Amino acid sequence: MKILQVSAELFPLLKTGGLADVAGALPAALQSEGCDVRVLLPGFTPLLDGLHKPACLSDLVTPWGDTVHLLYGDLGALGVKAYVIDAPGLYARPGNPYEDAHRHPYGDNHRRFALLGWVASLLAHGLDPHWRPQIVHSHDWHAGLACAYLALSRDRRMPRVGSVYTVHNLAYQGLFSAHHLAELGLPPVAMSLHGLEYHGQMSFMKAGLYYSDRITTVSPTYAKEIQTPEQGCGLDGLLRERGSVLSGILNGVDEAVWNPAVDKLIQSRYEAGKMAGKAQCRSALQNAFGLEAQSTRPVFGVVSRLTEQKGLHLVLAALDSLVAQGGQLVLLGSGEAWMEQAFRAYAENHPESVAVNVGYDESLAHRIFAASDVTLVPSRFEPCGLTQMYGFKYGSLPLAHRVGGLADTVVDCTLEDMATKQANGFIFDDFSQNGFERAMRRAFALYARRKDWADVVSHAMRLSMGWQRSASAYVALYRQLIA
């Protein structure tokens, strides 16, 4: 099967969140299942720089009249062939790929990401004379228009190309003014209720949901949740209508990258049953941040965007309790300015117990998972979550809200689940400071019972979290669609 994966990011070349991890790992996993996979990417500078032996496949005139170049090459160590859209006027900008230095979305984002979908449809219609996909699999709102272009410009003389659209986070919908429709080369019929119209605007997310042949989300529970008014973000009605083609496929972890037994970014390597290296990782991180170096104090780690959606306001509210019980917190992330400032201020007042690094550092993220005992994931909603899976792999037990992929992966440390060796973390249902603190107290209580703690950590680290299961599920979906 020939599969074209379309996304805006790809690890390790460009990453702002979990989408990049998925886009970077899934192609190789699909190739191991026998698929012929290529990726299509926008020409952000890190992605262009990662393209080996680029050749110009085609010069294209966009629907709004610009000339761009489609390059073809390979992504080196990833072992994947790639098409990259070379359009410096749209993509050659420093910093965040979606926002300017003031965190305002770029005013031409509608063009920048419509172009991604438009080129995907051209490849589906035979732009590359040597390779034509059978399935176009697009990811999140940035690639949502691929489904619309495919559906609205289908060439009846050519074999039909199927479309799969994966929702990574329904809350980010790619909304733009309706007056941009004409410049994107889409017919007026697209701007309707049965199309990409959303409360008078264009929604790239809705385009993917409405025009795709199959819809997937990144966990089974999230697939159910987004069909409800509470988590449907205004699109729950459409998702219920399309429920027969909607499914949830849990993400995996790239175990070549996230594995303490081989991780070159951490102080000392370790594995389940041989945990001396984890203690060394803890000491190294405590020393690096000036935290009191005591093994009797559990270390809580946060690697996250700092937003209320991620539940980090609950962590702020519970910091006094965490510190009073002898815990330490190491945080890496950025997001809402008030939250960044609040965490920094608390760290300044409690330097022996709390360390905060605002920003993102891939190496530091690995070191935090390796050093911490508990990974905090108290999200208000969480489509899948890779953070808790990284916690499992590094023996840092997740403390999570029971939603989305967190509900699908984290099993609370109840007596019965510990007895059957199913327990792997701490869960709370009541999304409140009280609910979070109750789960935190259970973590402290289990940490004091060292043998029981070690047993749960050992079980968590041995969980199979690789991409093989997920890739097999996608391959089955592709086969159904081709048939």
| Bridge partners, residue 138, by sequence | 6, 165
Q: Is residue 418 part of a domain?
A: yes
Say yes or no: 428 and 379 in one domain. Answer: yes
pLDDT of 179 over the 80 cut: yes
Say yes or no: 188 and 224 in one domain. Answer: yes
User: Which range marks the domain in which residue 168 is found?
Assistant: 2-252+467-482
Say yes or no: 20 and 101 in one domain. Answer: yes
In 250-386, where does DSSP find H-type helix? 276-289, 312-317, 319-324, 337-349, 362-371
At residue 295, the pLDDT reads: 78
Say yes or no: 242 and 293 in one domain. Answer: no
Query: What secondary structure does DSSP assign to 145-210, as a single string?
Result: HHHHHHHHS--TTS---EEEEEES-TT---EEEGGGTGGGT--GGGSSTTTTEETTEEEHHHHHHH
Query: Per-residue pLDDT averaged across 182-190, rounded?
Result: 94
Separation CA 37–CA 23 (nearest Å)? 12
Say yes or no: 142 and 165 in one domain. Answer: yes
Structure tokens at 380: 């208000």
Q: Is residue 270 part of a domain?
A: no
Q: Is residue 375 part of a domain?
A: yes
Q: Which pLDDT band, with edges at 50, 70 and 90, does 223 fall under?
A: very high
Say yes or no: 135 and 22 in one domain. Answer: yes
pLDDT of 339 over the 80 cut: yes
User: How does pLDDT run across 272-330, given as a tens digit for each residue?
Assistant: 999 999 999 999 999 999 999 887 889 999 999 999 999 999 999 999 999 999 999 99
CB atoms within 10 A of CB 176: 23
User: How does pLDDT run across 101-122, given as a tens digit for each residue?
Assistant: 888 999 999 999 999 999 999 9
Say yes or no: 288 and 181 in one domain. Answer: no
Say yes or no: 293 and 155 in one domain. Answer: no
Query: Per-residue pLDDT averaged across 193-217, rounded?
Result: 97
Say yes or no: 292 and 234 in one domain. Answer: no
Peptide linkage before 12 cis (omega within 30 of 0): yes
Number of domains present in the structure of the chain: 2
Which amino acid, one-letter code, is at 53?
K
Run of H or E residues at 333: strand 328-333
| CATH at 323 | 3.40.50.2000
CA distances from 225 to 76, 103, 247, 254, 403 (A): 38, 29, 12, 26, 8
Say yes or no: 133 and 188 in one domain. Answer: yes
Q: Is residue 266 part of a domain?
A: no
Q: Provide the 8-state DSSP code for 372.
A: -
In this structure, what are the phi and psi dihedrals at residue 57, rounded to the nearest 5 degrees?
Answer: -80, -40
User: How does pLDDT run across 119-172, given as a tens digit for each residue?
Assistant: 999 999 999 999 999 999 999 999 999 999 999 987 777 788 999 999 999 999
Q: Is residue 269 part of a domain?
A: no
Say yes or no: 391 and 243 in one domain. Answer: no
CA distances from 26 to 32, 50, 112, 374, 399 (A): 10, 18, 24, 27, 27
Q: Is residue 258 part of a domain?
A: no
Residue of 115, 245, 224, 251 whose CA lies nearest to 170: 224
Q: Is residue 261 part of a domain?
A: no
Say yes or no: 331 and 445 in one domain. Answer: yes
Run of H or E residues at 399: strand 397-401
Q: Is residue 264 part of a domain?
A: no
